[in-house]
A and B are shown apart, each in its own frame.
Chain A
Amino acid sequence: MIVSEQIAIDHGLKKDEFKKICQLLKRTPNITELGIFSAMWNEHCSYKSSKIHLKTLPTKGKRVIQGPGENAGVVDIDDGDAIVFKIESHNHPSFIEPYQGAATGVGGIMRDVFTMGARPIANLNSIHFGSPQHKKTKNLLRGVVHGIGGYGNCMGVPTIAGQTSFDSSYNDNILVNAMTLGLVKKNKIFYSKAAGLNKPIIYVGSKTGRDGIHGASMASANFDEKIEEKKPTVQVGDPFTEKLLLEACLELMTGDSIIAIQDMGAAGLTSSSVEMASKGNLGIEINLNNIPCRESNMTPYEIMLSESQERMLIILENGKEELAKKIFEKWNLDFAVIGKTTNSKKIELFFNNNQVASIPINTLVENSPVYDRKWKKTKMPRRNKFKKEVFKNLKIIDVLNKILANSNVCSKEWIWQQFDHTVMGDTIQKPGGDAGVVRIHGTNKAVATSVDSSAVYCWAHPFTGGKQIVCESWRNLISVGATPIALTNCLNFGSPENENNMGEFVECLQGIAEACEYLKYPIVSGNVSFYNQTKDIGIKPTPTIGGVGLIKNYSKMVTMEFKEVNSIVLVIGKTEGNIDQSIFARYILDEKNGPPPEINFFNEKNIGETLLKLIENDLIKSAHDVSLGGILTAISKMCIKGNKGINLKKPKLLIHELEYFFCEDQGRYIIEVHPNNLKTIKNILDKNAVHYDELGTINDNNELYFNDKIKVAIEELKNSNTYWLKDYMRK
């Protein structure tokens, strides 16, 4: 077939890009080559719109073993152990086929982690849906939850944390981000860099079918009415085969047969082979007739672009083929030697004894387009002045019940109960707390992890929002007693070709970078997902942070439920009463404008580190960071989980009690302390210049009192908090 400009455009390439390809090749590409270029040059693989901005992120730290640039990031957790982790998006496929889209998202991220030699020990996910009233939301939510569970549960990896939100900006473009943590010995990490000439390249896992051809391009295409036509690109996951692939790969990895290994993810065989060759500065030769295919008559084009799941590419040491083959056959997986490394610095493909493609690797990688897109700054919105009258008709208990039942605040138990969160026998903090925690098997150590995003804040002011999510992630780890180590990020935005959306991206990233720098909380891996929109309207900017922290002695881990009657409850960090963009303002007062809460890096760091010190000294009985819904929401959740009541007194301050209890000022935690320790704790807080308010005492009558007068049963709060989602889904 003669490749025309139109065919190139149909592949999602721009006219200029097609011209550049012809120039680089000094000829017109054939259809297979065009397919390869379109896959490698699209946004998803080339990062053409984000590259220059991603370079500004802090990625180094004393525990960082591997930063961005590999299948996943790696951090040191002492004693020769390391944690491999990464987050990835699977947004568009999940909208088209929620079960399979979400399932293959989970499968894909696990492969990224075990490719590096790590056994997955925890999964997380961050999922965002349209308004609950929207007609598609319920089925999408059900499908996504079943898909995540269907894959993760079958793999036997606990799903220990996550995040779920609803916002009408996701009505026609849901977000499904999946994250995995794996455990590896520091000296047994595997990388994707090819090395050595004439080394055998092997293909293992499932057979190649016509799944998801052009899936990677789809992830970068605008979502519009033509979606129907793009349907057949959805892949079907096979978690059972992935489980076998995991065990087989780990078995092969115990020896020294592997030079390089790479999973086949987006753009399948194309991107995996090109990336391995590129990193090793080598060429690669593949005989496509050797690829195990599921369907007959597959063309080179289809084979190269297939996104069939559960496949890996491995470069072996010479002479190890038989050994490897034995292992993969034992696990009933396909195995084939498909080519070798060369010194041509080209990717050369053969089919039926003909060369069907020959492309210099550097044209696909280094010479791929890079864009410095136009972007617009977002102004800081004006603060709202709320008249005191608006508070008058509001009863605090009603407000509290309403907020607890809000779709974004309510308990997500219905979701995480469908995820096996206890398999592997090391989960010591399950979903529903500030962070999930798993022990490092057979040691006293544990890792804590959480995923966070705040699309509303990022939408109101991207720069502030970017700072905020990093701080929130950091707080969630500290709340369970973990020292934050590093993070991964999934950047979900609208079209980079739209100045506003691009501006949101750039400024969120600046905020993220500043926060990471200040908190010494580096970024070790991540993923960018653009074009999240329907027609011309982008989603609210939704960068997601996946944080990982270390607990050196897990007996010191803290949980959020109130523990003991007569304990004193404090809030640490200063409450100013800024309610703009709080759930209280947006949902109760119906005021959607205004600036998000500010971040003060000094306080953030100081308070967090002070709290860690208190935890270290066994002075904290429970802790919970204050986030969506403010102090009262945080305290109610601690009461509900601990089945305890509390007598609350509002400190004598000038601000209104609704502002005090529901504002979302940043950098605050609720802590429970034993009365005998109160003095010591106050001393430490004073010495470290950490502001605190004493809020009240835990009681044993299961009621929440304000100033000894107004009261509400914890049972009532619990019902408000837990029933909404179950009712919504089961009705």
Chain B
Amino acid sequence: MKSSVITFPGSNCDRDIDVALKKFGFKNRMVWHADVELPKSDLVVLPGGFSYGDYLRCGSMAAKTKIMQSVINFAKGGGLVLGICNGFQILVETGLVPGVLLRNKYLEFICKNVFVKINNKHNIFFKSLEKDILEFHIAHNEGNYFCSKDQLKEIEDNDQVALYYCNQNGDTEEQYNPNGSIKNIAGIFNKEKNIFGLMPHPERMIDKSLSGEDGSLFFKNLINNLK
């Protein structure tokens, strides 16, 4: 399976995701933001970090790069796109997934482990994943997901919510919401579910010496589903 990770100026989880993808069997290529062509890929990943310093709005300037036009074309043609953290913010700014990501509720950057509940397994990202609740890791300043009421209804009607913040039992009360996201939303699909944006960093959970190993489950499952 071939994957491509786009490096924008200011991306800083590009190496981490490269390590993770390779660990679970992807043949990964790093793609520089100034490139125009996207290599042939089964998966394109927009990594975490602070593209363009997160200045103006997170992801806003990366969304205007040439390479993103290729990614948009790839996605619109049904290609698989994963946006993690800053990558999610970029997806939102391009309009590939709905909504926006505002500053966290207390205006504090949050770096910690959280639990997320998988809402929907009828998609290539989560199909056949044995667990329903995953321990993931977040590290962001702007992960407070927001959309209008109408949009929310549409998102829910189309089953586009991918992940909710919860506790280890899967309860999704407000108190398990780290950043103020509407309805505890941690990740969103596009309508067709080939584009997935999430705030947590599964690539930081791929080794028992690190914060946990549920990221391994995610990547293993993804590459199996792709085969």
Q: Are A439 and B209 in contact (CB under 8 A)?
A: yes
Is residue A331 within 8 Å, beta carbon to beta carbon, of the partner chain? Answer: yes
- In the bound complex, what is the Cα–Cα distance between A146 and B13 (angstroms)? 21
Is residue A422 within 8 Å, beta carbon to beta carbon, of the partner chain? Answer: yes
Taking the closest CB of chain A, its distance from the CB of B45, in whole angstroms, is 15
Is residue B52 within 8 Å, beta carbon to beta carbon, of the partner chain? Answer: yes
With A156-B12, A240-B55, A243-B10 as known contacts, state yes or no: A422 contacts B211, CB within 8 Å.
Answer: yes
Q: Are B9 and A428 in contact (CB under 8 A)?
A: no
Q: Are A417 and B13 in contact (CB under 8 A)?
A: no
- In the bound complex, what is the Cα–Cα distance between A418 and B178 (angstroms)? 12
Is residue A425 within 8 Å, beta carbon to beta carbon, of the partner chain? Answer: yes
Collect the chain A residues with CB atoms within 8 Å of residue B53's CB. Answer: 154, 238-241, 243
Q: Which of B13, B201, B209 lies in contact with A554, CB distance below 8 A?
A: B209
With A154-B54, A422-B111 as known contacts, state yes or no: A243 contacts B137, CB within 8 Å.
Answer: no
Is residue A688 within 8 Å, beta carbon to beta carbon, of the partner chain? Answer: no
- In the bound complex, what is the Cα–Cα distance between A244 and B139 (angstroms)? 21
Is residue B49 within 8 Å, beta carbon to beta carbon, of the partner chain? Answer: yes
Closest A residue by C-beta to B50: A154
Collect the chain A residues with CB atoms within 8 Å of residue B49's CB. Answer: 156
Is residue B184 within 8 Å, beta carbon to beta carbon, of the partner chain? Answer: no
Closest A residue by C-beta to B32: A330
With A240-B53, A554-B209 as known contacts, state yes or no: A425 contacts B9, CB within 8 Å.
Answer: no
Q: Are B111 and A417 in contact (CB under 8 A)?
A: yes
Q: Within A420-440, which residues are at the interface with B (CB < 8 Å)? A: 420-425, 427-428, 430, 439
Q: Are B16 and A244 in contact (CB under 8 A)?
A: no
Collect the chain A residues with CB atoms within 8 Å of residue B52's CB. Answer: 240
Taking the closest CB of chain A, its distance from the CB of B149, in whole angstroms, is 29
With A154-B50, A156-B12, A240-B10 as known contacts, state yes or no: A425 contacts B203, CB within 8 Å.
Answer: yes
With A156-B49, A240-B52, A243-B50 as known contacts, state yes or no: A423 contacts B13, CB within 8 Å.
Answer: yes
Is residue A597 within 8 Å, beta carbon to beta carbon, of the partner chain? Answer: no
Q: Within B188-227, which residues are at the interface with A (CB < 8 Å)? A: 201, 203-204, 206-207, 209-211
Collect the chain B residues with CB atoms within 8 Å of residue A730's CB. Answer: 106
- In the bound complex, what is the Cα–Cα distance between A127 and B203 (angstroms)? 31
Is residue B110 within 8 Å, beta carbon to beta carbon, of the partner chain? Answer: yes
- In the bound complex, what is the Cα–Cα distance between A427 and B206 (angstroms)? 12
Q: Within A138-163, which residues are at the interface with B (CB < 8 Å)? A: 146, 149, 153-156
Collect the chain B residues with CB atoms within 8 Å of residue A554's CB. Answer: 209
- In the bound complex, what is the Cα–Cα distance between A241 and B10 (angstroms)? 8
Q: Are A153 and B50 in contact (CB under 8 A)?
A: yes
Closest A residue by C-beta to B207: A425
- In the bound complex, what is the Cα–Cα distance between A554 and B112 (angstroms)? 22
Q: Are B16 and A424 in contact (CB under 8 A)?
A: yes
Is residue A367 within 8 Å, beta carbon to beta carbon, of the partner chain? Answer: no
Collect the chain B residues with CB atoms within 8 Å of residue A243's CB. Answer: 9-10, 12, 50, 53
Q: Within B58-113, which residues are at the interface with A (CB < 8 Å)? A: 106, 108-112
Interface residues on A, range: 20 to 34
Greatest chain B CB density within 10 A among A239, A417, A423, A425 is at A425
Collect the chain A residues with CB atoms within 8 Å of residue B54's CB. Answer: 154, 240
Greatest chain A CB density within 10 A among B10, B54, B137 is at B10
Is residue B15 within 8 Å, beta carbon to beta carbon, of the partner chain? Answer: yes
With A154-B54, A425-B210 as known contacts, state yes or no: A331 contacts B111, CB within 8 Å.
Answer: no
Q: Are A421 and B111 in contact (CB under 8 A)?
A: yes
Is residue B19 within 8 Å, beta carbon to beta carbon, of the partner chain? Answer: yes
Q: Number of residue pairs across A and B with beta carbons under 8 Å?
A: 84
Q: Are A424 and B111 in contact (CB under 8 A)?
A: no
Majority DSSP secondary structure for residues of A touching B: mixed
Is residue B141 within 8 Å, beta carbon to beta carbon, of the partner chain? Answer: yes
Collect the chain B residues with CB atoms within 8 Å of residue A439's CB. Answer: 209
- In the bound complex, what is the Cα–Cα distance between A461 and B173 (angstroms)? 53
Q: Are B108 and A418 in contact (CB under 8 A)?
A: yes
Taking the closest CB of chain A, its distance from the CB of B58, in whole angstroms, is 11
Is residue A4 within 8 Å, beta carbon to beta carbon, of the partner chain? Answer: no
Is residue A332 within 8 Å, beta carbon to beta carbon, of the partner chain? Answer: yes
Collect the chain B residues with CB atoms within 8 Å of residue A423's CB. Answer: 12-13, 16, 48, 139, 204
Q: Are A418 and B12 in contact (CB under 8 A)?
A: no
- In the bound complex, what is the Cα–Cα distance between A730 and B104 (angstroms)? 14
Collect the chain B residues with CB atoms within 8 Å of residue A424's CB. Answer: 15-16
Per-residue contact bits, chain B 1-44, to A (CB 8 Å; 1 contact, 0 not): 00000000110110110011000000000000000000000000
Taking the closest CB of chain B, its distance from the CB of A151, in whole angstroms, is 10
Per-residue contact bits, chain A 545-562, to B (CB 8 Å; 1 contact, 0 not): 000000000110000000
Q: Which of A156, A420, A422 lies in contact with B109, CB distance below 8 A?
A: A420
Closest B residue by C-beta to A442: B19
Interface residues on B, range: 20 to 34
Collect the chain B residues with CB atoms within 8 Å of residue A149's CB. Answer: 109
Collect the chain A residues with CB atoms within 8 Å of residue B55's CB. Answer: 240
Closest A residue by C-beta to B113: A422
Q: Are B139 and A422 in contact (CB under 8 A)?
A: yes
Is residue A47 within 8 Å, beta carbon to beta carbon, of the partner chain? Answer: no
Is residue A661 within 8 Å, beta carbon to beta carbon, of the partner chain? Answer: no
Closest A residue by C-beta to B178: A417
Q: Are A419 and B209 in contact (CB under 8 A)?
A: no
Collect the chain A residues with CB atoms within 8 Å of residue B139's CB. Answer: 153, 420, 422-423
- In the bound complex, what is the Cα–Cα distance between A119 and B68 (angstroms)? 28
Taking the closest CB of chain A, its distance from the CB of B199, in whole angstroms, is 13
Q: Are B209 and A240 in contact (CB under 8 A)?
A: no
Collect the chain A residues with CB atoms within 8 Å of residue B201's CB. Answer: 422
Collect the chain A residues with CB atoms within 8 Å of residue B16's CB. Answer: 423-425
- In the bound complex, what is the Cα–Cα distance between A156 and B204 (angstroms)? 13
- In the bound complex, what is the Cα–Cα distance between A419 and B54 (angstroms)? 16
Q: Are A418 and B137 in contact (CB under 8 A)?
A: no
Q: Which of A146, A153, A241, A422 lies in contact with B137, CB distance below 8 A?
A: A422
Q: Are B111 and A156 in contact (CB under 8 A)?
A: no
- In the bound complex, what is the Cα–Cα distance between A7 and B150 (angstroms)? 67
Collect the chain A residues with CB atoms within 8 Å of residue B50's CB. Answer: 153-154, 156, 239-240, 243
- In the bound complex, what is the Cα–Cα distance between A517 and B210 (angstroms)? 36
Taking the closest CB of chain A, its distance from the CB of B30, in whole angstroms, is 13
Collect the chain A residues with CB atoms within 8 Å of residue B13's CB. Answer: 156, 423
Taking the closest CB of chain A, its distance from the CB of B18, in whole angstroms, is 10
- In the bound complex, what is the Cα–Cα distance between A155 and B9 (angstroms)? 11
- In the bound complex, what is the Cα–Cα distance between A394 and B207 (angstroms)? 47
Q: Which of B109, B204, B207, B211 lies in contact with A419, CB distance below 8 A?
A: B109
Collect the chain B residues with CB atoms within 8 Å of residue A419's CB. Answer: 109, 111
Per-residue contact bits, chain A 309-340, to B (CB 8 Å; 1 contact, 0 not): 00000000000000000000001100000000
- In the bound complex, what is the Cα–Cα distance between A417 and B55 (angstroms)? 22
Q: Which of A244, A417, A420, A422 lies in contact with B108, CB distance below 8 A?
A: A417
Closest A residue by C-beta to B55: A240
Per-residue contact bits, chain A 153-180, to B (CB 8 Å; 1 contact, 0 not): 1111000000000000000000000000
Collect the chain B residues with CB atoms within 8 Å of residue A155's CB. Answer: 12
- In the bound complex, what is the Cα–Cα distance between A644 and B206 (angstroms)? 27
- In the bound complex, what is the Cα–Cα distance between A430 and B209 (angstroms)? 11
Taking the closest CB of chain A, its distance from the CB of B67, in whole angstroms, is 15
Taking the closest CB of chain B, its distance from the CB of A723, in whole angstroms, is 15
Collect the chain B residues with CB atoms within 8 Å of residue A239's CB. Answer: 50, 53
Taking the closest CB of chain A, its distance from the CB of B207, in whole angstroms, is 8
Q: Are A425 and B19 in contact (CB under 8 A)?
A: yes
- In the bound complex, what is the Cα–Cα distance between A421 and B12 (angstroms)? 13
- In the bound complex, what is the Cα–Cα distance between A241 and B16 (angstroms)? 21
Collect the chain B residues with CB atoms within 8 Å of residue A416's CB. Answer: 111
Closest B residue by C-beta to A422: B204
- In the bound complex, what is the Cα–Cα distance between A420 and B108 (angstroms)? 11
Given A154-B10, A332-B9: 8 more A-B contacts, CB < 8 Å = A153-B50, A154-B12, A154-B50, A154-B54, A240-B10, A243-B50, A417-B109, A425-B207
Q: Which 4 residue pairs across A and B have the least CB separation, nearest first? A: A156-B12, A240-B53, A425-B16, A154-B50
Chain A positions within 8 Å of B, measured between CB atoms, are 146, 149, 153-156, 238-241, 243-244, 331-332, 416-425, 427-428, 430, 439, 554-555, 730
16 inter-chain pairs at a CB distance below 8 angstroms, sorted by A residue, are A149-B109, A153-B139, A156-B12, A240-B53, A243-B9, A243-B12, A243-B50, A244-B10, A416-B111, A417-B108, A418-B109, A422-B137, A425-B210, A427-B210, A428-B210, A430-B211
